[in-house]
């Protein structure tokens, strides 16, 4: 069920009405949200609901065994729970990739017949809710996060539909206290919720969909048919498109969550305004970046060891990040490129600190411009491997992009202002949203709703006929 569809709007209105009608019974509200989330998830494929329910029941049981401190040592229960989650994820997401890789190696060595390729359907959201439950188990073991008091609370923590399909990856401390507290008396941040919903619809339904309709993604599949200028524009256009797609979805879901009285974490903090690759990763997909830091980078030793080992830890973490996105070598190369850029960034910071420089000093305008340009180029050029169907196509794209004068198709002129608009949101979007909220709060109630409806219909009027498929659903 697309979240920009009339079907979802009807679902949301019915669920909201029922939720607030059950205001006197918090358990009934929770059961309603669990059932509604299962309905949303099942609308993609009902078999996925059974797998999700199995994951919820199994992780709740393991968390109880970890917390009970009886029987097997706690670290063994944790190891069992993490391993079970990773095995399930590996089967659904990576079994085909590993079989193909082994077959390629077998044929390269002249060993003949290879393994059969499993035909497995990837459940939507499995990468996100698997990492969410792994973080939950680890934090219960460490005592750094709360444990759900009931199976129902844990089921809602995992399955709550605004964060189930593609995040944010919530920690126990983000959501469980809100689930366990009494029902709110009213929607406390309604203007903010509406502003987030409208922001999400504008980003996804208008900007990202227009970029998609202009064929930005298609150019990556046949780069040999386009000029160098068209490839450069496609590269930057897709960079704007994926931001509007993903951050727009997060805005929309954060707004929906507020309508039910829940605040879920933001996932984006204007990443294309970053002036370094390190700052970019503190702003892009923030809940996943923190997950990588806390559960991959720090356990490897982080930066507490020798410089060479710390840089290797950083690089390995980003290769893992690439592999998490998908079972292709393109994603691995994408992660490795970001790893190399982060290693270079950290090395230069370490050298400057050793010289006694203040690395937190405010940048000059020229230094910021150089850093911003390099960061945007790294983020955009690495996406060639992220989008192209294989490494050969990615190589063709990069070679033609750097070879001016080749014959081929150009790009639609509308692509340039749409791309600039996508980037511009990283500089003015927060200010516009704040003014929208303040302006809405200053209006009388009736006029406020009329203004919100007018903005909604305006978005419907300027949107293209179709909405692009959500990129992160395949992760």
Q: Quick check: 245 and 208 in contact, CB under 8 A?
A: yes
pLDDT band of 463, cuts 50, 70, 90: confident
Q: Give the chain's mean pLDDT.
A: 91
Most confident of 99-113, 426-440, 452-466: 426-440
CA 339 to chain centre: 18
pLDDT at 473: 72
Q: What is the DSSP letter of 298?
A: T
Q: What number is the average pLDDT over the span 56-84?
A: 88
- Asked if residue 64 lies in contact with residue 139, where contact means CB atoms within 8 angstroms, the answer is no
* pLDDT tens digits along 232-290: 999 999 999 999 999 999 999 999 999 999 999 999 999 999 999 999 999 999 999 99
The mean pLDDT value for 304-310 works out to 89
**Residue 71 pLDDT level (bands cut at 50, 70, 90):** low
Residues 324, 295 contacting (CB under 8 angstroms): no
Give the residue, 75 or 400, on which the prediction is more confident. Answer: 400
Name the burial class of residue 444, with classes exposed (0-12), middle (13-18) and buried (19+) by CB atoms within 10 angstroms of its CB. exposed
- How many other C-beta atoms can be found within 10 angstroms of the C-beta atom of residue 182? 7
Please say if 338 is a catalytic residue.
no
Report pLDDT digits (tens) over 416-444: 999 999 999 999 999 999 999 999 999 99
User: Could you say which of 60, 285, 325, 338 is catalytic?
Assistant: 325
Per-residue pLDDT, 72: 66
Is 347 buried (19+), middle (13-18) or exposed (0-12) by CB count in 10 A?
A: middle
Given this model, what pLDDT does residue 28 score? 96
Q: Which two tokens stand for residue 130?
A: 């698997």
**pTM (2 d.p.):** 0.93
- Are the C-beta atoms of residues 292 and 317 closer than 8 Å to each other? yes
pLDDT category at 328 given cuts 50, 70, 90 is: confident
């Amino acid at each position: 069920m697309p979240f920009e569809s009339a079907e979802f709007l009807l679902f949301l209105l019915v669920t909201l009405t029922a939720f607030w009608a059950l205001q006197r019974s918090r358990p009934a509200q929770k059961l309603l949200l669990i059932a509604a989330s299962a309905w949303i998830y099942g609308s993609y494929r009902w078999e996925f609901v059974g797998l999700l329910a199995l994951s919820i029941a199994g992780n709740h049981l393991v968390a109880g065994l970890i917390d009970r401190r009886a029987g097997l040592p706690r670290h063994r229960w944790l190891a069992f729970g993490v391993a079970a989650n990773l095995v399930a994820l590996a089967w659904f997401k990576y079994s085909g990739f590993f079989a193909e890789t082994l077959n390629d190696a077998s044929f390269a060595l002249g060993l003949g017949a290879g393994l059969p390729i499993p035909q497995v359907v990837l459940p939507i959201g499995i990468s996100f809710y698997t990492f969410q439950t792994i973080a939950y188990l680890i934090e219960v073991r460490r005592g750094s996060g709360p444990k759900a008091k009931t199976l129902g609370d844990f089921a809602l923590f995992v399955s709550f539909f605004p964060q189930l399909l593609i995040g944010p990856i919530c920690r126990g401390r983000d959501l469980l206290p809100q689930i366990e507290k009494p029902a709110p008396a009213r929607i406390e941040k309604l203007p903010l919720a509406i502003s987030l919903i409208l922001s999400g619809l504008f980003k996804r339904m208008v900007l990202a969909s227009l970029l998609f309709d202009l064929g930005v993604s298609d150019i990556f599949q046949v780069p040999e048919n386009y000029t160098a200028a068209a490839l450069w524009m496609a590269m930057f256009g897709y960079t704007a498109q994926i931001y509007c797609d993903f951050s727009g979805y997060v805005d929309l879901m954060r707004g929906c969550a507020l309508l039910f009285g829940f605040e879920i974490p933001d996932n984006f903090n204007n990443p294309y305004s970053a002036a370094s690759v390190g700052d970019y990763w503190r702003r892009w997909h923030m809940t996943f970046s923190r997950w990588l830091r806390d559960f991959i980078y720090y356990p490897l030793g982080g930066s507490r060891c020798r410089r060479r080992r710390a840089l290797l830890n950083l690089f390995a973490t980003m290769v893992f990040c690439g592999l998490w996105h998908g079972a292709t070598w393109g994603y691995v190369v994408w992660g490795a490129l970001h790893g190399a850029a982060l290693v270079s960034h950290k090395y230069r910071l370490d050298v400057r600190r050793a010289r006694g420089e203040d690395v937190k000093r405010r940048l000059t305008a020229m230094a910021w411009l150089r850093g911003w340009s390099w960061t945007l180029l790294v983020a955009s050029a690495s996406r060639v491997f992220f989008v192209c169907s294989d490494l050969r196509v990615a190589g063709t794209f990069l070679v033609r992009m750097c070879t001016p004068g080749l014959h081929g198709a150009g790009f639609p002129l509308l692509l340039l202002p749409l791309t600039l608009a996508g980037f511009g949101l990283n500089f003015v979007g927060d200010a516009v949203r704040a003014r929208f909220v303040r302006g809405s709060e200053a209006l009388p109630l009736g006029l406020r709703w009329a203004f919100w409806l007018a903005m909604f219909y305006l978005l419907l009027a300027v949107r293209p006929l179709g909405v692009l498929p959500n990129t992160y659903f395949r992760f």
